[in-house]
Structure 1
């Protein structure tokens, strides 16, 4: 009977909340659904737009600081909006705030684009944060008001909120693929404008004037979208105002050879630009989010007469060096990870490799190379021994049983975000100790790994992870050096080359390589070849390492002390290969400490403010006690939920990226699974009787701890068993694993809202919303910090620890009647 009474009460709130008919309830939930759809999709779209202007770590900072608006919106309502509207005025208020949010989304994007044209503001992170803070602040105001006005409906409202976000995580992929970043943002503003119209339906008949702002916002945003689709007044993000570190900006401003963008394509993966050079018609570059430039050469299609620029690759590009010495039986097949515009494919073709498998993660890039076959000689379409697949290279490799004579990776770095929090890199898993072991497992006995690196720092990192991987295979460091040669360290003229053979080189193999290096004019003291110990023949530090006179630990310590560089090996658990500075990257540290400060402010600020300045205009319904029994429990609950959810979500995204092999798809499906599960859990939590609310919070938290702990140990074996299956099967398995966890994670938040209502403390709901929102930003920064220092597994367990704190806080029924 208790459950039944509570279900009826949820459908027909008490007098304090006012009666909601089934139709009105549907309007409320639909408005919340569309608002959450628009904001989650807008968050992902922002990461894509900002990646064109900024490097990935600054994208993380901007998105994180903008998201603080969600929490600040709740604090604003708590402190400065004490009077809670009643009756239909509640929907008028929601329509007003949703209308402002709908307008803020396209306006913030328009202003962001205009700022991008100002070179002086290209890296003005605070300016971007301010512009993008506003739509999230308004959303925080709206949702905190919804939960305060309808606390007994929190289970359904939170379910609609999560369901909207879940659909948004998938829908944004389609929108970005179809419309690009800017038009997708405008359309998402229109979605929120529809939510405003839905809220306004309730007051449309009684007071048309109060509904006009919703109608106006819809018409304005629709006009902006329609005009941009037809006229293209805001066609794309301005490359001219991008970060000076973006390669495409340097290419377009190069005085000696003017460049122009020939073609631009947008997708959920990012923006892909094809750039041509007026003074160099034999070369085009393809850029992803303005960086990761990869060349596409004008090629005749005839390997015997490839053209001057292609022919010069044999002597001018270090990636061809290993092909000078390959025997016939060492050219049977090659796997090229990240072929980009096709340079490595050309090298393998000219090197006489029989079968070439090229794996590229960016479909737009592959499509461009295929469509420009008349320019590039059909390197992806015109050779029967070349096969190109769109996939993530490491995942593709792990699914193969075939072994290769060559595995090649040439400059595989995008410096661009592919994750929700804006920090993870597409190629993070390509260079870890675990990846080196995978490469070795997929090499023939005479096979070798060939990597063309960016600089000597990445070369030292490559050496570090390779020595660690070989050590894990029982090979000592001195013995490992017999499987390695390197050239071009610290050279200003060539890209460094790193070669790791599965078995040791013989002395007879090394001398011809050293002689060829000298013939090509490379400095021997910037190289290393095994067995050559005469002074001046190789780099003295590498020689000392190979002899065991110094250890890599000593070298790493000296680099850290003298240069501030971190060359410690990366692993799949902490795949930050491109983090070369000591400690936390500056943007991560800024977000972490700023969110810590903001969390302290939202925890202690509101009580102190109310004690110092009692609020006027509070009704008996909205009056908030300065303290009350059990209030500390709710502070712990909502802060731990915000921090813990993000720790779990981001850690699982990282683990599933390698498993699924598609970074964008992994993030979307994981978010969808977790959020749909949480939405279902939230709705189901509404069935709990009032006297079981705190027990429900404790039980759900303990179950979450158990599931996360089990996943920590079981995910890797499960992944290994499923890696060889089709993508659809892996996706289904992912959903099956994550929906139950999400279901449990959907319980505590709405139950906490209902407990506050039961204890006549609903005036605190916006404050708790604010604590939860700020906790989410803190959780995202904390995840990256813990993952860099320890690993994503440890971050996942820390997330479980947050839910354990919730369990310990609510394990005893000390709150009367709940």
Structure 2
């Protein structure tokens, strides 16, 4: 029992450190690398756990012989890996280079392989307590998920990684104390001394990570530009990423400040008090804000209140302030943005009584304040970071779905309007597709719907204005005439109730056609074309976007290019599994005494392990996707959901410790319960209570399905422990791990192509196959060989 307590402590520390390091790596790579490479590297890294577990199964005798040295490997490899990753970014090694991506993948995977080896060793050598070990593994991961956000919001990234390494060193100390030999007496105090010194060196570890020498990073390009000087004023790490405030000094002596999230998508800092002192500068700054033109045509009664989603450095706030809005609210999802602006730009973010900035996700804030705003403004709220590739990374895409648009319309007063400032015409078309489809579902035809819309553009950043009710004819005529005067009549261009002007002539034997308004939009507005022609005729993906498949910025007709490498990885994993399964897992070195019956049993167990690992990630992904919209802070929301889900799994696993007999029957029973409880949760409980759910109740709500989801796999491990072949449990652990990596990739692929609801149904199908296999295994009779 003493050894079991030691292993439980090691497993808890090991998995908590793993989760903290994994989340830290995702933040590091989002800052250092082009955002579409982050998913690739993280997917390969987590695959390292499965590789490590299978590696142990193959070389267990050698590893067991020098166990304490292997126990030290996770902390050593984590330190070396992280140090080398920081160094490579400064040597100009880019993830987009021919050899850069493989190097980043290799370095980030090594620590996870080492952790997987230690993990498998503990499970194999103490398989009597496999349920308890698995439960503490999940509870440790839950603890790591919950504390990672606090750590990243409190300390610098390097300090957080040092804490993860410290947890691994503490696990080593526990192992050294348990193994009483001559090395333990020396190494134990030595490792404790290292941990002690790391605590004193925390200030030295709080250094700023320089921006990577990657041309795709906006901050690097600007700071490398010799035409002007640049200086970082302050940098802050948080669970959201790194935020940098940078000052630029130009040859004429003028200065400006900009903020960057993960070294991309800079936003200029605008000081209201400075503009108020210099009316010439104020006009120049405000004239550069595309949406200011539309605000000129609002009456006083339409300027009582405005909500700005993603205010960045304050240009939206300053514009609405000087345009006479009485009360201004802003929702900024990145807490570091707000903290830096309150410190360095208080006149815009803090000092004015009629300006209130909230740290909140914009859409969630609107849902809580329906019917309140005369204007809702979204000015390109896109950071180009890795948040598009993880479960809480759909933050920006969720701002642009049909359901989000419905929330915005509900958040408007009767005279209110939404102002979208976009990157280009494709974004305008896609948002219009959302609007027209939404209006059609509400019983409003395309002719009436487009009376609530107008679009103007200077060719750079088109502005799409959508009103809750149709625009007045007089206002549209005045605004339309003024756009021509200021050159805002470039495509895409459209105003309702204004006659189309066109020119169709032959110039030097060339047929020349010109239309004042976007011809497709104008023809849809008068009923010449069906509204769905807007996306059906396009060569890129302009289809409406829903919360079930919230990928607004995917313009590929199919999968985005960034998913190609992960998809190949997922297909490789499935191919690897099928090959080994068809060959009867010959790679598993069964002893000669292992019967044919037990070999056949292992083959079934391997398939069940793969299906459980695969289905687990799919159902997790769906539940997170559904519930995340109810939570106000994406990073904290994801941490809360992951903590609750893993805690529920851990509690379920603890229950299996009491299971002694009829394990196959219990595997069938609890897998059936997973399907029933999941269906009950998704189709009955969620629809009834969804609108009333708070963050606390969401956490409790998720415990119900997660409890049952945590039961089948430890039951399978307990069943496999009856096999005298010592390598079975590490193999099953490794198979489940690699299946989870494949599932995380296919969850995104399937949700892009068919939606998250299909991901959920596929997860239930996987559990259904587990029931069939478990029943067949239960009825399989022992045959003499």
TM-score normalised over the length of structure 1: 0.88
State whether structure 2 residue 188 is matched by structure 1 residue 209.
no
Which residue among 639, 643, 665 is the counterpart of 2:610?
A: 639
Which residue among 576, 599, 602 is the counterpart of 2:551?
A: 576
Distance 1:558-1:332 versus aligned 2 partners, 3 A rule = same
State whether structure 2 residue 542 is matched by structure 1 residue 593.
no
SS in 2 for 1:119: coil
Who is 1:677 aligned against? 648
Which residue among 740, 755, 779 is the counterpart of 1:814?
A: 779
Contact (CA 8 Å) 2:622, 2:760: kept in 1 or not?
yes
Report matched runs for 1:174-185 at 5 Å.
174-185=150-161
Contact (CA 8 Å) 2:681, 2:705: kept in 1 or not?
no
Who is 1:237 aligned against? 209
Task: Give the drift of 1:778.
Answer: 0.5
SS in 1 for 2:724: coil
Task: Give the drift of 1:65.
Answer: 1.0
State whether structure 2 residue 302 is matched by structure 1 residue 330.
yes
Unaligned regions of 5+ residues in structure 2, if any? Answer: 503-514
SS in 1 for 2:454: strand
Who is 1:741 aligned against? 705
Contact (CA 8 Å) 2:261, 2:383: kept in 1 or not?
yes
Who is 2:512 aligned against? none
Contact (CA 8 Å) 1:71, 1:773: kept in 2 or not?
yes
Q: What is the root-mean-square deviation in Å for CA atoms of aligned residues? A: 2.6
Who is 2:56 aligned against? 77
Contact (CA 8 Å) 1:272, 1:289: kept in 2 or not?
yes
Task: Give the drift of 1:420.
Answer: 8.6
Distance 1:636-1:239 versus aligned 2 partners, 3 A rule = same
Task: Give the drift of 1:398.
Answer: 0.8
Task: Give the drift of 1:460.
Answer: 1.6
Contact (CA 8 Å) 1:412, 1:427: kept in 2 or not?
yes
Who is 1:510 aligned against? 476
State whether structure 2 residue 723 is matched by structure 1 residue 756.
no
Who is 2:579 aligned against? 604
Distance 1:217-1:66 versus aligned 2 partners, 3 A rule = farther
SS in 2 for 1:426: coil
Which residue among 87, 94, 97 is the counterpart of 1:114?
A: 87
Q: Which moved more, 1:647-656 or 1:712-721?
A: 712-721
Which residue among 382, 405, 423 is the counterpart of 1:436?
A: 405
Distance 1:718-1:380 versus aligned 2 partners, 3 A rule = farther
Task: Give the drift of 1:83.
Answer: 6.7
State whether structure 2 residue 133 is matched by structure 1 residue 189.
no
State whether structure 2 residue 681 is matched by structure 1 residue 711.
yes
Report matched runs for 1:11-160 at 5 Å.
21=1, 23-81=2-60, 85=64, 93=67, 95-123=68-96, 124-160=100-136
Give, in whole Å, the separation in 2 of the partners of 1:796 and 1:544. Answer: 40
Give, in whole Å, the separation in 2 of the partners of 1:676 and 1:163. Answer: 5
Which residue among 339, 354, 360 is the counterpart of 1:385?
A: 354
Give, in whole Å, the separation in 2 of the partners of 1:218 and 1:477. Answer: 71
Contact (CA 8 Å) 1:33, 1:160: kept in 2 or not?
yes
Who is 1:14 aligned against? none
Q: Which moved more, 1:250-259 or 1:58-67?
A: 250-259
Who is 1:265 aligned against? 236
Contact (CA 8 Å) 1:292, 1:413: kept in 2 or not?
yes
Contact (CA 8 Å) 1:624, 1:761: kept in 2 or not?
no
Contact (CA 8 Å) 2:602, 2:728: kept in 1 or not?
no
Q: Deviations over 1:356-387 (max 9, x none)?
A: 1111111111111111236xxx1222221111
Q: Which moved more, 1:543-552 or 1:106-115?
A: 543-552
Contact (CA 8 Å) 1:60, 1:423: kept in 2 or not?
no
Give, in whole Å, the separation in 1 of the partners of 2:305 and 2:124. Answer: 64
Give, in whole Å, the separation in 2 of the partners of 1:551 and 1:255. Answer: 53
Q: Deviations over 1:324-372 (max 9, x none)?
A: 1101111111111111211111111111111111111111111111112
State whether structure 2 residue 669 is matched by structure 1 residue 699.
yes
Q: Which moved more, 1:407-416 or 1:161-170?
A: 407-416
Distance 1:816-1:155 versus aligned 2 partners, 3 A rule = farther
Contact (CA 8 Å) 1:646, 1:779: kept in 2 or not?
yes
Distance 1:554-1:287 versus aligned 2 partners, 3 A rule = same
With a CA cutoff of 8 Å and minimum separation of 6, indicate the structure with the bigger relative contact order. Answer: 1
Distance 1:223-1:79 versus aligned 2 partners, 3 A rule = same
Give, in whole Å, the separation in 1 of the partners of 2:780 and 2:61. Answer: 25
Task: Give the drift of 1:775.
Answer: 0.2
Task: Give the drift of 1:109.
Answer: 1.0
Unaligned regions of 5+ residues in structure 1, if any? Answer: 1-20, 724-729
SS in 1 for 2:377: strand
State whether structure 2 residue 122 is matched by structure 1 residue 170.
no
Give, in whole Å, the separation in 2 of the partners of 1:50 and 1:350. Answer: 39
Who is 1:542 aligned against? 521
Q: Deviations over 1:220-240 (max 9, x none)?
A: 67666755x3435x8343313
